[in-house]
Amino acid sequence: MSQLRQGDSVAARAIEFAILTAARPREASGARWSEIVDGLWVIPPERTKCNREHRVPLSTAALALVERLPRIDEYLFPGNRSASAQPSVMLATLRSLGRTETVHGFRSAFSTWASECTKHPDFIVEMALAHTVGNAVQRAYQRSDLLEQRWKLMEDWAEYLTQLPKARCL
């Protein structure tokens, strides 16, 4: 995170946003200003892997990042050759920093951190990752996306990221 924050490229900001939100690279790179509403990033169904709306609670750090971005067009992270920054450019940016991780791999890091270092329930973590949670009966009865619990999870994640590399867990 500290390496990313030293850079000033659109791709570096897109990676930072993807990490803070535990989002898929394509979803993060294609984020639009119109999707940011009242501290939430609302990804429409047509832009998600599972074809259903995903509400992402934005941590204080993620909101601060968004507020620092210039409004150039409809995208938070406009691209040079395409409408938005592409995941391939994000990956190239990581490589230029000497990193071997993939952008998508930070989702795994988020899940591992949450399991090893927090008491957040696994199903909350899975919901934060926009994964299908529970069996058909459980999904039929679970009507809430447990936004408040996920908001706390995302704040804890952002706090952890600001402490790196000092602390392994909160």
Residues forming the active site: 24, 49, 104, 107, 131, 141
Note the Cα 91 to chain centre separation in Å: 15
Q: Kindly state the tokens that stand for 7.
A: 């850079």
Q: Which alpha helices (H) appear in the chain, and where do they start and end?
A: 2-6, 10-21, 25-29, 60-68, 87-96, 105-117, 122-128, 136-141, 147-163
Buried b / exposed e across 62-80, counting CB within 10 Å, b at 16+? bbebbeebeeeeebbbbbe
DSSP string, 6-50: H--SHHHHHHHHHHHHT--HHHHHT-BGGGEETTEEEE-GGGSTT
